[in-house]
Chain A
């Protein structure tokens, strides 16, 4: 949700909720939901394309997990890898993974699953000119080879500690014949996988009706789907969603703004849950002076900014929900994300002293770039002003802001990063401190540590390397890590479903109470 819509939603939402509250204690009509074994869900954005490889939306990830299966499955609660389409798997060496495939698995169209489907999927992903979107999850793969009909080997270009995570998340297996026949466009309109739910009806952008796959193979770690039908509708306005939820026409919604979530939580027919997401917010500084000489080249100024902003107050009063303040340049539950680093408590006097020491006793004026959450941004600007830092806000679209940062035009920016829900430091720190176009610090010591952490599968070596990198980043205040983001889910009391920290609702784990 954009800041503009967030604010608009807030104002409208208050009125809508006030009006709804008047009738909230009436019994909820049992028009849908548990009575006819249909879970009615809505989200605000259209699914771009049901073909997973041609969509970079979170909704696409949710749909992917329902329709398709990967070779392996990562338990969202324990982090353990289990065989999914692969009955078992073995890490032959640092760059070779062997999978023994399940026999007797069929795709939703009746096509039998075997090694040919795995190899065809990987070969498609390795083609350079298909127009597929984000490739981070597949560009580590060198190739795939069918050893026999039910044994496959996948080769990595070089050791990659995230290989199993990517195989469990970003590489759903497609039916070879069907995909060759219909291509991405056909798959987008009539998706076919092996997953726990099959698509009965898909009206692009409007609705998808999923039916439980009655032939879903026994022994899948995803379990057998408990709910017969899941009907997803696209309702862009959160207030309309709330009316539909409170009147019983919907059973589940998400991304509910905090103020409305708090009010919805008072309704006896609803269950409201706030859960963290892997997205973190941060301030990034032009440490190397790419945008020209600027105060942030001085570590004392970066530390002053870090002491100037009361992150806890912003989290407690504005962000709310399951969010928490962070101190390290990663999401706390990611592998290797130590929080045992230099921490900058709110101390405006210390901030002023640091600014004076750096030669800015009266503060200074700077451009401040941002692209989302104006409601979080404004208190930050206020805190900076209190220590003498005046800001010229440059608020734009994400792509424009990231372009400006990469082009070296940005002294200070408020940005966020979701790590693609990959629970490993390698999905965040190397992007911003590994020497690439987003790296504004260009610290060789950090580069080396991150390269070491990302170039091996040895846990201890990785932990030590990330510890070193994250400590250096914090000590030099290359970033000011702000807080984790959260999502509010609201659902009918009939629904038995628990969110996970990766913000991927797994409806195949949902049931009725």
Chain B
């Protein structure tokens, strides 16, 4: 397990470094950052002044290592857009994104697991088909579309929830449903498949033969085992939710880190774009790393693979 952990950790570090290089290179892929920052009215002298002021006149590799050195210490420089330290901006915005992510995850699990259980218990029945339909719709429907439809219904036709903002818990209801619903199908299908496997296994047959009640068999013996892959999937899905929140936060004007990313990209605020992308990537890498460890702990065969 230790060797496996060390290997996965090394891989995670290599991926982090690659991501950091890619994220940094984005700065130059969209053109000269000083030109972008100076705006269209700027003349050549303005652009040169901005290059000097923001250090864009140094060799690219010097800029990269300086930036990376700061990043690992949590120092991402100054936002050229907000004129404040990027880390302060992120610390200010991240709670909204985390709250949205956590609430969406809870919503998805609360909806998906019972549905998955029902679909497995009543395999090929109308309930199973309805759950499948729900899953297909959830996967197929673009989240921005679903978001707008919910806004029209609950903020306009039946105005019981706000359409935009992040001032109260009510502001999080619609975004939570949209973000959570998108993750629901994967959880539901995994619960259903896992449970079907487990329900046909020998130990469940034994449990039934011992005369245990169906509920006892289902909840105490079958579901506990069937749900383990869902837990590791949840870790990865949480990373997806954080990145998926960019669209949701934009539609609902939730002022979280996702919205910050969108805004910074459109405003060429390079230090902020780099920091948000790197942090989101790190979240994702760490969650994947933890999911790998969890899987290996649960299933020893993975450790030697």
Least Cβ–Cβ distance between A257 and chain B, in angstroms:
15
User: Is residue A16 contacting chain B, with contact meaning CB distance below 8 A?
Assistant: yes
Q: Which of B46-54, B100-108, B127-135, B228-236 lies at the binding interface?
A: B46-54
Q: Which of B116-124, B202-210, B255-263, B278-286 lies at the binding interface?
A: B255-263
Least Cβ–Cβ distance between B291 and chain A, in angstroms:
32
Most B C-beta atoms less than 10 A away, residue of A12, A51, A401: A12
Q: Which of B10-18, B154-162, B191-199 lies at the binding interface?
A: B154-162
User: Is residue B97 contacting chain A, with contact meaning CB distance below 8 A?
Assistant: no
Once the chains bind, are B38 and A133 in contact (CB under 8 Å)? yes
Q: Which of A142-150, A154-162, A231-239, A335-343 lies at the binding interface?
A: A231-239
Once the chains bind, are A45 and B253 in contact (CB under 8 Å)? no
Once the chains bind, are B266 and A2 in contact (CB under 8 Å)? yes
Q: Mark A1-40, 1 if CB is under 8 A from B, else 0.
A: 0100000100010011001101100000100000000000
Least Cβ–Cβ distance between B214 and chain A, in angstroms:
45
User: Is residue A228 contacting chain B, with contact meaning CB distance below 8 A?
Assistant: no
Q: Which residue of A lies closest to B268 (CB)?
A: A399
Q: Which of A94-102, A241-249, A442-450, A484-492 lies at the binding interface?
A: A241-249
Q: Decide: A240 near B36, CB < 8 A? Known: A48-B81, A437-B44.
A: no
Once the chains bind, are A397 and B31 in contact (CB under 8 Å)? yes
Once the chains bind, are A205 and B260 in contact (CB under 8 Å)? yes
Once the chains bind, are A236 and B250 in contact (CB under 8 Å)? yes
User: Is residue A111 contacting chain B, with contact meaning CB distance below 8 A?
Assistant: no
Q: Decide: A129 near B53, CB < 8 A? Known: A206-B255, A402-B31.
A: yes
User: Is residue A134 contacting chain B, with contact meaning CB distance below 8 A?
Assistant: yes
Most A C-beta atoms less than 10 A away, residue of B39, B41, B43, B163: B41
- In the complex, what residues of B have CB within 8 A of residue A135's CB? 42, 45-46, 49
Least Cβ–Cβ distance between A203 and chain B, in angstroms:
8
* Interface size, chain B (Cβ < 8 Å): 53
Most B C-beta atoms less than 10 A away, residue of A136, A417, A436: A136
- A362-386 contacts to B, CB under 8 A, are none
- In the complex, what residues of B have CB within 8 A of residue A396's CB? 30-31
- In the complex, what residues of A have CB within 8 A of residue B151's CB? 16, 239-240, 243
- In the complex, what residues of A have CB within 8 A of residue B53's CB? 129-131
Least Cβ–Cβ distance between B46 and chain A, in angstroms:
5
Least Cβ–Cβ distance between A211 and chain B, in angstroms:
19
Least Cβ–Cβ distance between A402 and chain B, in angstroms:
6
User: Is residue A139 contacting chain B, with contact meaning CB distance below 8 A?
Assistant: yes
- In the complex, what residues of A have CB within 8 A of residue B41's CB? 56, 134, 136, 420
Q: Which of B141-149, B218-226, B237-245 lies at the binding interface?
A: B141-149
A133 to B54, CA, bound (A): 11
Q: Decide: A237 near B263, CB < 8 A? Known: A396-B30, A399-B33.
A: no
Least Cβ–Cβ distance between B270 and chain A, in angstroms:
11
Least Cβ–Cβ distance between A160 and chain B, in angstroms:
14
Once the chains bind, are A45 and B267 in contact (CB under 8 Å)? yes
User: Is residue A184 contacting chain B, with contact meaning CB distance below 8 A?
Assistant: yes
A236 to B261, CA, bound (A): 12
Q: Mark A482-500, 1 if CB is under 8 A from B, else 0.
A: 0000000000000000000
Least Cβ–Cβ distance between B89 and chain A, in angstroms:
8
- A192-226 contacts to B, CB under 8 A, are 203-206
Once the chains bind, are B35 and A436 in contact (CB under 8 Å)? no
User: Is residue A128 contacting chain B, with contact meaning CB distance below 8 A?
Assistant: yes
Once the chains bind, are A399 and B82 in contact (CB under 8 Å)? no
User: Is residue B114 contacting chain A, with contact meaning CB distance below 8 A?
Assistant: no
Once the chains bind, are B152 and A20 in contact (CB under 8 Å)? yes
Q: Which residue of A lies closest to B151 (CB)?
A: A243
User: Is residue B170 contacting chain A, with contact meaning CB distance below 8 A?
Assistant: no
A294 to B115, CA, bound (A): 65
| Residue in A189, A205, A239, A401 whose beta carbon sits within 8 Å of that of B255 in the complex | A205
Once the chains bind, are B83 and A49 in contact (CB under 8 Å)? yes
Q: Which residue of A lies closest to B250 (CB)?
A: A236
Once the chains bind, are B83 and A188 in contact (CB under 8 Å)? yes
Once the chains bind, are A399 and B30 in contact (CB under 8 Å)? yes
User: Is residue B22 contacting chain A, with contact meaning CB distance below 8 A?
Assistant: no
- In the complex, what residues of A have CB within 8 A of residue B155's CB? 243-244, 247
| Residue in A12, A206, A437 whose beta carbon sits within 8 Å of that of B148 in the complex | A12
User: Is residue A403 contacting chain B, with contact meaning CB distance below 8 A?
Assistant: yes
Q: Which residue of B lies closest to A205 (CB)?
A: B255
Q: Which residue of A lies closest to B32 (CB)?
A: A403
Once the chains bind, are A397 and B36 in contact (CB under 8 Å)? yes
Q: Which residue of A lies closest to B36 (CB)?
A: A399
Binding site for A on B (CB under 8 A): 30-33, 35-46, 49-50, 52-54, 81-84, 89, 144-145, 148-149, 151-152, 155-157, 159, 163-166, 250-253, 255, 259-260, 262-263, 266-269
Binding site for B on A (CB under 8 A): 2, 8, 12, 15-16, 19-20, 22-23, 29, 45-46, 48-49, 51, 54, 56-57, 128-131, 133-136, 139, 184-185, 188-189, 203-206, 233-237, 239-240, 243-244, 246-247, 249, 396-403, 417-418, 420, 431, 436-437
Given contact pairs A131-B54, A134-B41, a sample of 7 additional A-B residue pairs in the complex whose CB atoms are under 8 Å apart: A48-B269, A235-B253, A236-B251, A237-B250, A239-B151, A396-B30, A418-B40
